[in-house]
Amino acid sequence: MRTVLIVYPHWPPSNLVGVHRVRLIANNLSQQGWHPIVLTVAEEFYEEPGSPESVKLVDDSVEVIKVSAQEPWSLFNKRLVGDIGLRAHRSLKDEALRLCSKRPIDFVWISMPSWYTSLLGNTIRQKTGVPFGIDYQDPWVQPLPEGTSPFSRAAITQRWARILEPRALRHATLVTGINRPYFQGALDRNPKLNPHTAAFQLGFDAADHSIEHPTESPWPKNKLIALYPGAFLPLSSPFHRAILHAFKELDSRGELPNEACLAYIGTGHSNRPVLTIARELEIEHRVIELPERIPYLEVQQLLRNVHGCMIIGSPEPHYSASKVFQSVLSGRPILALLHKDSEALRILEASNCSSFSVGFDPIVDLTAKLEKAMKRFWFNKEWNPNINALEPYSATNAAATLAEGFNHCLR
């Protein structure tokens, strides 16, 4: 059995979405002939609230090694740097070099974000000769919302991204991602690179979604809830507004159930941007927004308990919402607004879950289609998802694709 060192600074009990991509892959690599060693940061150095029960979702075959990190960097009591990949960079580097020097490590796989851990790949290769690959859970270089200040943190981060990405990729033998467009831009900007590439979705393990978890709903029990669990992405703001506007129009015509409400949890913005839009449209009494992330297993339970789920995409066709799998596996009806070329929309269609989906087309007015889909969603009586259609996106198949990428690079 060969050994892969996986570098990812968050790990259960971290409650971040990216943790589950790495966890699901690591859980299934031993079946593919690869022993996974996960190099991560100890949870006492995380800033985000954790999900202690998620530790139980890690397979016994996964070896986990944890290092320390510095405290967030501040100046005059102003927080400047909190990124765990920067705060733990030295510790991760030293331990990775030690492991690759003392143990038979065949390959190093670095998933990002954090973006800055990707810079470890070349250091490890130069000092130990172990080849490495980089995984894109999001594009590193990406467009900013219109009107973003050039002096904002986001703009500065993007300027650094254009400088650092070519250095991180320079000697990578493998580049992977959620789908090819996630990393194709990086290859186009660096045409001299010639790595092996592989794409596979975040994936899922059906066992995760069958665990009954005691969960108290954060809304009145008499409400009929359509639930959106996930971050509010600024580029997706027009999509959120379109959903809320369609809801308002139906409500004004008396075409919604009296108990119908839209709930958003884990949006990540203390100023509650969704509720702000709802106030503008005068439907705040029908909208619930809770910015704090809640534990992974609680989210699964809430999705199983509500009337239905919402999946809201991005104006960019490459964006593939990770919540597609948990929504389908919840067994509840799905209201989706996604780019017409989104892979997520194709997954919903294949699994017989696109009855209330609308494909975004910037040229076409979607108002009528969205209102029609939403009205049918609330009064839906039949919902019969084809779970078997998700099998190509399972964690088992994702691990097989990645393992073949490792093997290809070593051959």
Query: What is the DSSP code string of 258-313?
Result: TTEEEEEE----TT-HHHHHHHHTT-GGGEEEE-S---HHHHHHHHHHSSEEEEE-
Which of 3, 6, 61 minimizes the C-alpha distance to 28?
Answer: 61
Which of 239, 291, 244 minimizes the C-alpha distance to 264?
Answer: 291
Q: Per-residue pLDDT tens for 1-16?
A: 999 999 999 999 998 9
Cα dihedral 32, 297, 113, 309 sign: positive
Q: Per-residue pLDDT tens for 384-411?
A: 999 999 999 999 999 999 999 999 999 8
User: Is residue 171 over pLDDT 80?
Assistant: yes
Query: Can you give the pTM of this predicted structure?
Result: 0.89
Residue 312 near residue 239 (C-beta atoms within 8 A): yes
Which of 285, 277, 291, 290 minimizes the C-alpha distance to 245?
Answer: 277
Report the b/e string of 129-139 with b at 16+ CB within 10 A. Answer: ebbbbbbbbeb
Report the b/e string of 371-384 with b at 16+ CB within 10 A. Answer: bebbbebbebeeee
Distant-in-sequence, close-in-space partners of 156: CB < 8 Å, separation ≥ 6: none
Provide the pLDDT confidence category of residue 317 given band limits of 50, 70 and 90: confident
- 3 state SS of 334: strand
d(CA 20, CA 296): 9
Domains of the chain: residue spans and CATH:
2-205+394-410 (3.40.50.2000), 209-391 (3.40.50.2000)
As a whole-number percent, the residues of the chain with pLDDT over 70 amount to 100
Q: Which of 34-38, 47-51, 312-316, 360-364 has the lowest mean pLDDT?
A: 360-364
Question: Is the previous residue joined to 114 through a cis bond, with omega within 30 degrees of 0?
Answer: yes
Residue 219 near residue 226 (C-beta atoms within 8 A): no
Q: Per-residue pLDDT tens for 43-85?
A: 999 988 888 889 999 999 999 999 999 988 877 777 777 889 9
Q: Per-residue pLDDT tens for 350-378?
A: 999 999 999 988 767 788 899 999 999 99
Q: What angle do CA 121, 27, 85 make, to 5 degrees?
A: 35
d(CA 346, CA 331): 18
Residue 34 near residue 403 (C-beta atoms within 8 A): yes
Provide the pLDDT confidence category of residue 315 given band limits of 50, 70 and 90: confident
pLDDT at residue 363 in the model: 64
d(CA 341, CA 315): 10
Q: What is the end-to-end Cα distance of the chain in Å, rounded?
A: 15
Q: Per-residue pLDDT tens for 208-236?
A: 887 888 888 999 989 999 999 988 988 88
How many residues in total does the chain contain?
Answer: 411
